[in-house]
Structure 1
Amino acid sequence: MLSFIASLTSLLAATAAIALPVGEARAEVAPRAGPSGYVVYPPGGTTFDSYGGAESSGGESYIHVQYEGVYQNSPYTATIGVDIFLEDPTGVQPDQYLAYNFGTPTIGLIDGYFSPPAGACGDYRLVFEEHQNLGNYGDIIKFRAAAPSITLLCLPIQ
């Protein structure tokens, strides 16, 4: 009986050793793992005129954004806000935030006008990082949902 148990134990140990993965296992990252909202405005390639720099320096400028969040019941998922920032596609300048967790108190279109930072001229990605409530567990997740290319065209006040 003792030899039977010893044989069974070594057989199980050998099976487990064969079944274990060899080398490093990596998790696959999906580009979109679930539902997300979408940018209504601006479409990629939009140019915004900036007269005289930022409003704080006497200029007249704005960036109009519209973002349609997601709301679904099964499983419960809702957009609760978005971070919006300008990202330099060359990576030379740091990100310039326009809003943190910008949203509406009700479900629906997130709509706003923002002044570009002083001196922001040229090509950027307008990045939307969505915040979602996963309701069932109260978890809040944050992910990059969109980044259309825009141009800020700096012009003198006339």
Structure 2
Amino acid sequence: TELEWNIAPAENGKPAFATWKPGCNIFLENRNIKNKGIQLNANVSTGNIFEPRDDLGYKAELTRPYIFGEKDKNKSTLRASWFNHRRTSPAFSGYSGGNSPMAMYGQESEPPKIWVDRSGIRAHLHQTHSRNSSTSVGVSLQEVCSRDENGELCPRGSRGEGGGRGGA
């Protein structure tokens, strides 16, 4: 568990908690399901237990070795994973250092943060033929969407231009 908090002066002038958000991270691991070497790793995390919809993230991965039986000479392994996470976009995020570089373009304020949500599944099959030869085939299905600071879908980005105009 973790706790993020801020202190600010209260009405009487004494310091008090302005905000506090307890977070949580739960990890589960089983390395030998049904005595067949099947491995399961799962992780669920949130930065705010009271509002988990804001940033709930999870990842679960299942690995099954020798999928075609114990006598499989190619040592075929199947790996499947399910995931969901949210991160700030590195391409459309605001600048966080010293003087704003946007000032030279006539825009004093930094652009709003854009959040990228990804959720989906992946699966791949790996076979080892010899010490120097292997084959892998996989498939991935995911949904990617961008959201603004209010959680609304952001179909396209915009930036401010000099003179108070906006462009896309």
**TM (normalized to structure 1)?**
0.27
**TM (normalized to structure 2)?**
0.26
Select the structure that is richer in helix: 1
Which of the pair has more CA radius of gyration? Answer: 1
Q: Which has the higher contact order (CA 8 A, sep 6+)?
A: 1
Select the structure that is richer in strand: 2
